[in-house]
Amino acid sequence: MKKYVLFLFSLLTLLCIVTGCGGEKKADGPKVLKVGTEVTFPPFEFREKGSKEISGFDMDLIRAVGKKLDMQVEILDMDFEALIPAVKRGNLNLVIAGMTITPDRQKIVDMSEPYYESGLSLVVRKENTSLQKPEDLKGRAVAVQLGTTGEEKAKQLAGDKVRSFKTNEEVFQALKEKAVDAIILDKPVAQYYINKHHPDAVIVGDTFAKESYGIVTRRHGELTPKINKALAELKQSGEYDKIYEKWFGKEPAKK
């Protein structure tokens, strides 16, 4: 009998060691949401001068979503073209990076309901008056960010003279140094760069492709409906409008 009790005791001890015995019990508190972004896309995601912190409209929005889901948000800066593969592999839970909802991307990952209406625009040096509309780009050197809808558009319009860069800072630098004649970039971001850093550049013509941004999650994952629900609640409660006003000055048009 004694032997039997002893055996049972050692068995329990062993089990304890193997399972951690509940000693290191994880609190039911917030889990971590690994969020990928790319920080040369102001005012959606960028580092303010001298700050390590990543700020912007997307960042405030995703932190508000994290709160709704009772999850801690951890932001990771990566190359834009690496973001979707990282979600696919499960290295990131989601991506918020001013990423346009496209049918091609939706074949690989889930994208949330739209959270921002945007569009592509054409940027040239102020003194260059020969480029006024997308059709003028044929055969011209155009700078774009790698893996973006702007890159796709540029290839359609300009052909093989398109030059793709990892960051939008390099894209603007190329225009400044006259390595290219034009840039194709999302309008609010182009406007921000021009206002803050590149007064010699200008947006010409109308926004020539309308696009909507969505949050990227793993395809058919359980996170997509949760994100949509959180977004809907933030829009309902007015929190979304507050974040919008903080970065863009006025409320978005209600649809």
In the complex, the residues that contact ligand GLN under the rule CB under 6 A are 38, 41, 80, 97-100, 145, 148-149, 186, 211
Residue 246 burial (10 A CB sphere; 0-12, 13-18, 19+) = exposed
Least spacing, CB of residue 98 vs ligand GLN, in Å: 4
- My answer on whether omega of the bond before 188 falls inside 30° of 0, hence cis, is no
Instruction: Compare residues 41 and 192 and give the one whose CB is closer to ligand GLN.
Output: 41
Least spacing, CB of residue 189 vs ligand GLN, in Å: 7
Instruction: Compare residues 149 and 224 and give the one whose CB is closer to ligand GLN.
Output: 149
Instruction: Compare residues 73 and 190 and give the one whose CB is closer to ligand GLN.
Output: 190
Using CA atoms, how far residue 96 sits from 50, 54, 103, in Å, is 23, 12, 17
Instruction: Compare residues 97 and 182 and give the one whose CB is closer to ligand GLN.
Output: 97
SS (H, E, C) 159-195: HHHEEEECCHHHHHHHHHCCCCCEEEEEHHHHHHHHH
Least spacing, CB of residue 15 vs ligand GLN, in Å: 50
Least spacing, CB of residue 136 vs ligand GLN, in Å: 22
Do residues 95 and 38 touch, judged by C-beta distance below 8 A? no
Instruction: Compare residues 121 and 145 and give the one whose CB is closer to ligand GLN.
Output: 145
Which residue is closest to ligand GLN by CB? 148
Using CA atoms, how far residue 129 sits from 68, 132, 183, 201, in Å, is 49, 7, 14, 12
Least spacing, CB of residue 20 vs ligand GLN, in Å: 41
